[in-house]
Homo-oligomer: A and B are copies of this chain.
Amino acid sequence: MTVPPDPASAPVRARAPSMADVADRAGVSHQTVSRVVNNHPAVLPETRARVRAAIADLGYRRNSAARALVTRRSGVLGVLTPAGTAYGPTSTFLALEDAAQEAGYVLAVGTLRLPHEDSAARALNRFLGLGVEGVAVIAPTEQVLRVVSEIDARVPVVMLSSATRLPDRPLVGGVSVAQREGAAAATAHLLAGGANEVLHVAGPQNWFDAQERVRGWRAACVSAGAPTPAPVETGWSAREGYALGLQLVREGLPPAVFAANDQLALGLLHALREHGVRVPDDVALVGFDDEPGAAHYDPPLTTVRQDFAGLGAAAMQYLAEALDGSPTPRRELTAELVVRASSARV
């Protein structure tokens, strides 16, 4: 492990025009320039125009470091997100960025290389060192949650996480999607469709989402009086879904499978198809996420759509409220079952 080089030790570049330069050129004081830049009303239109012209001539841009120094506000929020191209975190991140833009903030990003939890601590510290005003953490695992709760951030932190218990700290809030309800709806749908038993192909159990989906599945089975065969735990990838599918073919197929995400379902479909198992006739299948391709899998996949956009917006709203003083501590978004051919027995 090497210590990253310090960007501040490299050669200094040419000086950009300052407010004083603009003031000189426009024949006013630096204070008047500041007024113009910040749209303060008490400036004569004529003066304002002269200053604006000087700004344009010099290509002046207000120095955000100096501004942040005096206002104590950087205009930057940090986002910690697991590294990966998975649809869920990516969509959530996009929604966050959208909401941040709307609120006039810039997002700084740190990616977590799970399961290396120290990457979370390092990223969080880099943020705080940067002077972010708040942090959103896409906190999928216990490890990440612990790391965050151990660091005294002194700024609002919002967890985008299905964790049952969040760190009980003043400035920490949470938003989540109703994983459990979504999983229960998926399972109930399979049971209602005629399956007397639903096998759950579960995601990694150190992920909160995966845990919650297990809980939802179990609740639906119990409430329908169906058996609860032990969930099979695996990863999140299509490759792992495929491997598991081959194993199921060898060891015996259940009438229905609820896969913890769409990629797993995709891999399962591949394995089943390869061995002549018909979906949904022999095995009904439901996934989770409704990723963009899901409607075009073979067969089109029944799945659970999460409100990622709502999640991102709610997280930003938490931070905005917290920066104003009175945040809503927790909020839960909905998930919606999308029925397609993989579960519909004709």
**What B residues does A5 contact at CB under 8 A?**
103-104
A345 within 8 A of B: no
Most buried by B among A103, A292, A325: A292
A289 to chain B, nearest CB (A): 11
Q: Are B130 and A15 in contact (CB under 8 A)?
A: no
Q: Is A305 an interface residue (CB 8 A)?
A: no
Contact between B59 and A152 (Cβ–Cβ < 8 Å)? yes
- The answer for the CA separation of A241 and B67 in the assembled complex, in Å, is 50
The residues in A between 169 and 197 inclusive whose CB is less than 8 angstroms from any CB of B are: none
- How big is the A interface, by class? 35 or more
When each residue 100-135 of chain A gets 1 if its CB lies under 8 Å from chain B and 0 otherwise, what string results?
011111111111000000000001001111110100
Distance (whole angstroms) from the CB of A234 to the closest CB of chain B: 14
**B-chain residues with CB within 8 Å of residue A237 when the two chains form the complex:** 292
Say yes or no for A270: interface residue by CB 8 A criterion: yes
Q: Which residues of B contact A164 (CB under 8 A)?
A: none
**Closest CB in chain B relative to A56 CB, distance in Å:** 11
A97 and B107 alpha carbons, distance in the complex (Å): 13
| Any B CB within 8 A of the CB of A41 | no
Q: CA–CA, A345 to B64, complex, Å? A: 61
- Kindly list chain B residues whose C-beta atoms are within 8 Å of the C-beta of A103: 4-5, 7
Q: A61 contacts B106, CB within 8 Å?
A: no
Is the pair A269, B293 in contact by a Cβ cutoff of 8 Å? no
Q: Is the CB of B324 within 8 A of A298?
A: no
Say yes or no: B64 contacts A130, CB within 8 Å.
yes
A263 at the interface (CB under 8 A from B): yes
Taken together as a complex, chains A and B put the C-alpha atoms of A144 and B125 apart, in Å, by 33
Q: Is A295 a contact partner of B239 (Cβ separation < 8 A)? A: yes
CB <8 Å contact, A108 and B76: yes
In the complex, which of the residues B73, B84, B300 contacts A7, with contact meaning CB atoms closer than 8 Å?
Answer: B73
Q: Offer 30 A-B interface pairs, CB within 8 angstroms, sorted by A.
A: A4-B103, A5-B103, A7-B73, A7-B75, A8-B73, A62-B129, A63-B131, A64-B129, A65-B69, A76-B130, A85-B90, A85-B91, A85-B291, A97-B109, A98-B111, A101-B111, A101-B123, A106-B108, A106-B110, A106-B127, A108-B108, A239-B295, A239-B296, A241-B296, A242-B296, A263-B293, A266-B293, A269-B296, A270-B296, A273-B298
List 5 tightest A-B contacts by C-beta distance, closest first: A4-B104, A65-B68, A298-B298, A270-B296, A65-B69
